[in-house]
Amino acid sequence: MKTKFYFLLLFFSFISTQANSLPRCENLYNALYNENTKYDVGINSIDEKKTIGIRLNKYWNANREIILENGEKIKKPGWSLLRNKDDYFIVGKITKTSLLNQIETDDIILSINNLDLRELAKDKEKLITLENDISNFFNENEKIKFKILKKNNTVLEVTSTNTIESFNQPAVDFYINAIDIKEKEGYVNASIQTSFYEALDKRHFLTEAIWEHIVADKKFEDGSLQDFYWEQCSYSDERWSKLNTIDPADGLKFANLIKEDKTTRTSEYNLKPSISYSNELKGYVQDQAEITYDSNSTYAIKNEFNLKSFPFDKQKIKFFLYNDKFGLEDYRSLITSWTIRRALEFADINNKNQNNIEGWNIVGVNTTYEIYNDPNNGPRDGVSITFDVERKSGYYLFKIILPIILILTVCWSAVWIDPKEIESRLTITIVCLLSLIAYNFVIDSELPKLDYLTVMDYIILVSYVYSTIPNFLSVMSFQMIKTNKPLAEKFETYEKRYGLLSYILIVLLIIILNTSFNPENTKAAFLLFNK
């Protein structure tokens, strides 16, 4: 009997030891998997925060100046409020659905409750309040009257209320690693890295589980936590989807997504305690944690291309990430400085030799909050990164347009042959015409089937016309030399003097006219000639 008892005791001891010997991250996962009573997904990350319905527009200022307490000025990169040429502040984000049809991003704020924000910003403490959140400048339930300057230069008065609201405010960052523009197919291939972060507090079971299972070797002094060891845990998409807990990536998707190349995808959920020191407690706080979803994949995203100025065109490449699951009132994304800095690094605008996008120069980049209007579910919060790119037109100038001009030069050289040698003249002009047709196939392979003509199309059409004119001129001269030799000689003089010259002038006129209607696009051609 005793033997049997000792055997059972040994068996249960072995099982217990095995259970406790699981890695810390596995113990954490099992705790989350077995928890059926606490639903972290229903807890907002922001609880009871004032909002007047907008946020001021900010930009990442690498040369930002701050004033220390001793009055010393130092440069410290950070967020600065964006202002227009008249020093007015600008709408950066809409946070109330009631304002969507009245106020837009980039509208100018002339005043709020008859207060000129420019005057408030002269006070250092008030400026800090404006930078943190303009809503904090006004009282709870205070009626708000905006005076807004619209993009069409009309002034609009809009009313709102400074209400207390609860919502999710995760950090939603994404970085562009590579872009391949497929204008013929109407989309771009992009390698995109994402980092979706959400802070956790003591209301979340996940926070409790993190501190219980992956934090060890705690050292206390007078009851306050002074030091500890923790293990960062990572889980795959498949494993995390089996848990009823927070998912920072829930509902996030790219607008106009055609497909994702999942063979290139890497992703994981990362958990760790949030390390914050409390001067009041004189130790570390044990009721905070964080979860981050990191991924890297390749996406095909539809993009609208205006190719009328091809090959001197300028395009906008837009990446728009939004949440299609939660409404605007419940979900308000936040981007960190990393999104801005990585976008600027990729653009590398000051580097004239940059080749981050093959065949294109990046001439501008803009990151902004944006509203996605879901036709079925209403407005959704989102953020976009837009790259302004300009085609490197050197290839088309030197390898297509210049050879075309040379072909036309050869073609018009036929007028210098004796009009009686009509066979030689026609041979030259016909061969030139066939060469132009071959070049047309080269251009067609570069572009989609368009319902409008590009600059290149006009140049080629004019070239076709001017390659056929010497044929008719040769026949006319051949006939005139027999009947009216003086008139034929005069006719030949005009051919030699104005034929090719008129062609070059017409090509230049096409480019100039396009410049008049699309000045920001076609300037690339002239800049290239000026180098």
Q: Cα(190)–Cα(177) distance, rounded to whole angstroms?
A: 7
> What pLDDT is recorded for position 411?
87
269-289: average pLDDT:
87
Break the chain down into helix, strand, coil percent, rounded to 5: 35, 35, 30
52-65: average pLDDT:
89
> What pLDDT is recorded for position 16?
43
70-80: average pLDDT:
81
> What pLDDT is recorded for position 526?
47
In the chain, the percentage of residues whose pLDDT exceeds 90 is 46
**Is the pLDDT reported for residue 285 higher than 50?**
yes
348-362: average pLDDT:
79
What is the end-to-end Cα distance of the chain in Å, rounded?
Answer: 100
**Is the pLDDT reported for residue 50 higher than 60?**
yes
pTM of structure:
0.85
Lowest mean pLDDT across 19-23, 147-151, 474-478, 484-488: 19-23
**Is the pLDDT reported for residue 12 higher than 70?**
no
Number of helices followed by number of strands (H, E) in the chain:
13, 24
Alpha carbon of 234 to those of 290, 362, 457: distances in Å? Answer: 12, 36, 55
> What pLDDT is recorded for position 354?
67
In the chain, the percentage of residues whose pLDDT exceeds 70 is 91
Q: Kindly report the backbone phi and psi dihedral angles of residue 454, in degrees, each rounded to the nearest multiple of 5, phi listed first.
A: -95, 170
Q: Which of 355, 350, 367 is nearest to 174 (CA)?
A: 367
199-227: average pLDDT:
90
Domains of the chain, first to last:
46-167 (2.30.42.10), 171-391 (2.70.170.10), 394-530 (1.20.58.390)
Report the C-alpha dihedral over residues 475, 476, 482, 487, rounded to 10 degrees: -150
Question: How far from chain centre, in Å, is Cα 519?
Answer: 24
| Contact by Cβ (8 Å): 248, 170 | yes
105-122: average pLDDT:
93
254-268: average pLDDT:
95
Token representation of residue 153? 């230069």
> What pLDDT is recorded for position 104?
92
H/E/C letters for each residue in 205-242? HHHHHHHHHCEEEEEEECCEEEEEEECCEEECHHHHCC
Can you list the alpha helix ranges (DSSP code H) found in 227-376? Answer: 237-240, 337-347
> What pLDDT is recorded for position 495?
79
Lowest mean pLDDT across 27-31, 264-268, 312-316, 510-514: 510-514
The per-residue pLDDT of the chain, averaged, comes to 86
